[in-house]
């Protein structure tokens, strides 16, 4: 096919004709295949052997393949680009965050570290359920918002050992500063949290009923007009100004 182009130069007309070929120019190998988006060795493939576009892990601290292989500027190889997020660190979540084949490895205060498994959260300064939070959701645990401390009697697990007010015997029966010896009170925490006090106690006095009412190991002791006083035993009630049957009433029914 011929193409004619006419040009006006000055006052003259010049015709130029080119002969064009419709044939496809064959690929001319330029040598060994490079990474340059060209078919250098004319084998019908571009950048073969360079794995362009494959996921890769860049020069960061983790081992996660978040990047993509791309050609280097000189075309002799590839480099990992767009490796984001990078430098992923391990957290306590029962997952392999940094892609090194281990789960929650070498994490302090993590139940899932070094092959452990998640469990129920307790107050022990440890992430038992492996959700990335230590002692979360525990209202009576000091380690939820701080570090373990000295245990106080305040309804909180201050030393984060999983026990609230341990060593104070809170809730145990007690005998307060009253005349009887009966442990009918309950130990509760003092206002300053340093100890306990006996609260809710009711005074019990000895009556003539053949029972040790004041819990001192003696029955009806020191009671006038009581047959059971000082080791006596109940009998039939008679008219003698005495509680013979030890029911708390003198000469009743007579």
Is residue 7 situated within a structural domain? no
Question: Distance between CA atoms of 61 and 72, rounded to whole angstroms?
Answer: 22
Beta strand 2-9 with 55-56 is unpaired
Output the average pLDDT for the chain: 88
The number of folded domains in the chain is 3
Secondary structure class of 80 (helix, strand, coil): strand
Residues 156, 107 share a domain: yes
Cβ partners under 8 Å of residue 179, min gap 6: 203, 205, 214
Q: 111 with 155, same domain?
A: yes
Q: Could you tell me the residue range of the domain that residue 181 belongs to?
A: 168-204
Residue 113 maps to a domain: yes
Q: What is the pLDDT of residues 187-209, one digit of tens each?
A: 999 999 999 999 999 999 999 99
Q: CB-side exposure of 17: number of CA atoms within 13 Å?
A: 3
Q: Which is more confident, 246 or 12?
A: 246
Does 52 map to a domain?
Answer: no
Query: Where is average pLDDT lowest: 6-15, 80-89, 184-193, 237-246?
Result: 6-15
Q: Is residue 18 part of a domain?
A: no
Rounded CA separation 47/39 (Å): 7
pTM of the model: 0.53
184 in a structural domain? yes
**Distance in angstroms (rounded) separating the CA atoms of residues 230 and 208:** 11
* Cα distance between residue 70 and residue 89, in whole Å: 25
Together in a domain, 218 and 251:
yes
Whole-angstrom distance, CA of residue 145 vs CA of residue 110? 17
Q: Please state, as a whole number, how many other Cβ atoms lie within 10 Å of the Cβ of residue 92.
A: 26
Instruction: Assess whether pLDDT exceeds 80 at residue 121.
Output: yes
Reply yes or no on whether the pLDDT at 22 is more than 60.
Answer: no
**Are 180 and 195 in a shared domain?**
yes
> Are residues 156 and 174 both part of a single domain?
no
pLDDT in tens, 45-92: 999 999 999 999 999 999 999 999 999 999 999 999 999 999 999 999
């Amino acid at each position: 096919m011929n193409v004619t182009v006419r040009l006006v130069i000055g006052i003259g007309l010049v015709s130029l004709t080119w002969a064009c070929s419709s044939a496809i120019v064959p690929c001319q190998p330029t040598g060994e295949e490079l990474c340059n988006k060209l078919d250098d060795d004319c084998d019908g493939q571009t950048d073969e052997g360079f794995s362009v576009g494959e996921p890769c892990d860049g020069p960061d601290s983790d081992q996660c393949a978040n990047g993509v292989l791309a050609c280097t500027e000189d075309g002799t190889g590839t480099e990992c680009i767009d490796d984001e997020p990078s430098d992923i660190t391990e957290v306590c979540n029962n997952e392999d965050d940094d892609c090194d084949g281990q789960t929650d490895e070498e994490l302090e205060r993590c139940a899932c570290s070094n092959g452990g498994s998640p469990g129920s959260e307790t107050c022990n300064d440890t992430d038992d359920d492996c959700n990335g939070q230590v002692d979360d959701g525990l209202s009576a645990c000091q380690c939820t918002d701080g570090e373990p401390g000295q245990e106080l009697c305040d309804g909180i697990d201050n030393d984060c050992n999983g026990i609230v007010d341990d060593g104070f015997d809170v809730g145990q029966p007690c005998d307060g500063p009253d005349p009887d010896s009966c442990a009918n009170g309950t130990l509760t925490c003092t206002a300053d949290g340093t100890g306990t006090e006996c609260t809710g106690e009711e005074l019990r006095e000895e009556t003539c009923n053949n029972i040790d009412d004041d819990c001192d190991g003696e029955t009806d002791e020191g009671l006038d007009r009581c047959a059971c006083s000082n080791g006596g035993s109940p009998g039939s009630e008679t008219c003698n100004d005495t509680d013979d049957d030890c029911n708390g009433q003198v000469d009743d029914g007579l």
